[in-house]
């Protein structure tokens, strides 16, 4: 009987050790993913601010998603560190707090997954109209400090695009600048911003004479692709996080009942 008891204790200790190390291993990718999210969201906020500057409502949605990525990264990294500590010291209180936190984060991630795909559909409806509105009424070629002017110039240079097509797609994207009264006040010449032009020495292009120098890509399509990429990447990452957190929750509850 004594030998059987010792064997049972040995098996229990072995099982506990396996679960402990499994929980530690599961938290390593969670920590790495959290760090990656922090870096990507910080880079997006720093380098792509011109996209938000040119939007009204949809810009708020996109910025909110990027901030959600940043917060999620911080929370996941902190949760992973706490999980490793809880598994290492085998403290039931720590394990219980970790388990509860994992469940809360899992629910929040599920909500974010739904919101990310809802945003993808809503942003497409808003983005084109908002870009056309700011191109026609907000861009001032004589005021380089104007946030809208700077944002349009940055986007057109960085994405090698010019203007935005109408909803029916019946004209070139760069023709939207013909409706900007500050850029084309009614004279015979039709000009587009210098940021629309390639290899022209930083001057505005004459759309009638220098059409070959004008970027042909639609800024709406380029910006939408950028935003869709972020939303899809966020959605895929969140699904991956949810699956990993399910494993973490299972290991945590097992360790809770096995720990002394």
> What band does 59 get if pLDDT is binned at 50, 70 and 90?
low
Q: What is the pLDDT of residue 5?
A: 36
pLDDT(155) > 60: yes
pLDDT(49) > 80: no
Q: What is the pLDDT of residue 52?
A: 57
Give the count of domains, the chain.
1
Query: Mean per-residue pLDDT for 28-46?
Result: 78
Residue 7 covered by a domain: no
> What band does 94 get if pLDDT is binned at 50, 70 and 90?
confident
Predicted TM-score (pTM) of this structure: 0.57
pLDDT tens string 140-150:
888 878 888 88
Residue 214 covered by a domain: yes
> What band does 55 get if pLDDT is binned at 50, 70 and 90?
low
Residue 245 covered by a domain: yes
Say what percent of the chain tops pLDDT 70. Answer: 74
Residue 222 covered by a domain: yes
pLDDT(201) > 70: no
Residue 211: domain span: 12-165+172-258
Is residue 28 a contact partner of residue 80, using CB atoms and an 8 Å limit?
A: yes
> What band does 225 get if pLDDT is binned at 50, 70 and 90?
confident
Residue 3 covered by a domain: no
The CA-atom distances, in angstroms, between 145 and each of 148, 151, 236 are 9, 10, 38
Select from 244, 223, 219, 199 the least CA-distant residue to 102: 244
Residue 5 covered by a domain: no
pLDDT(58) > 60: no
pLDDT(260) > 60: no
Residue 2 covered by a domain: no
Q: What is the pLDDT of residue 246?
A: 82
Please tell me which residue, 96 or 119, carries the higher pLDDT value.
96
pLDDT(6) > 50: no
């Amino acid at each position: 009987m004594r030998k059987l008891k010792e064997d049972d204790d040995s098996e229990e200790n072995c099982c506990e050790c396996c679960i402990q190390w499994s929980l530690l291993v599961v938290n390593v990718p969670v920590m790495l993913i959290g760090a990656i999210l922090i870096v990507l969201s910080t880079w997006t906020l720093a380098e792509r601010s011109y996209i938000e500057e040119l939007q009204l409502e949809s810009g708020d949605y996109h910025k909110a998603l990027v901030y959600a990525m940043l917060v999620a990264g911080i929370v996941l990294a902190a949760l992973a560190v706490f999980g490793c500590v809880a598994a290492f010291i085998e403290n039931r209180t720590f394990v219980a707090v970790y388990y509860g936190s994992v469940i809360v984060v899992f629910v929040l991630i599920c909500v974010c997954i739904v919101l990310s795909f809802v945003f993808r559909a809503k942003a497409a409806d808003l983005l084109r109209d908002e870009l056309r509105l700011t191109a026609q009424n907000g861009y001032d070629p004589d005021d380089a400090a104007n946030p809208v002017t700077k944002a349009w110039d940055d986007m057109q240079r960085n994405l090698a695009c010019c203007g935005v097509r109408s909803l029916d797609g019946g004209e070139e994207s760069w023709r939207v600048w013909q409706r900007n009264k500050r850029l084309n006040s009614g004279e015979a010449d039709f000009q587009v911003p210098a940021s629309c032009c390639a290899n022209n020495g930083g001057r505005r292009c004459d759309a009638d004479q220098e059409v070959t120098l004008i970027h042909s890509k639609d800024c709406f399509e380029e910006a939408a692709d950028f935003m869709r990429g972020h939303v899809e990447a966020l959605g895929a990452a969140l699904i991956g996080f949810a699956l990993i957190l399910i494993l973490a929750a299972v290991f945590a509850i097992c360790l809770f009942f096995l720990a002394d």
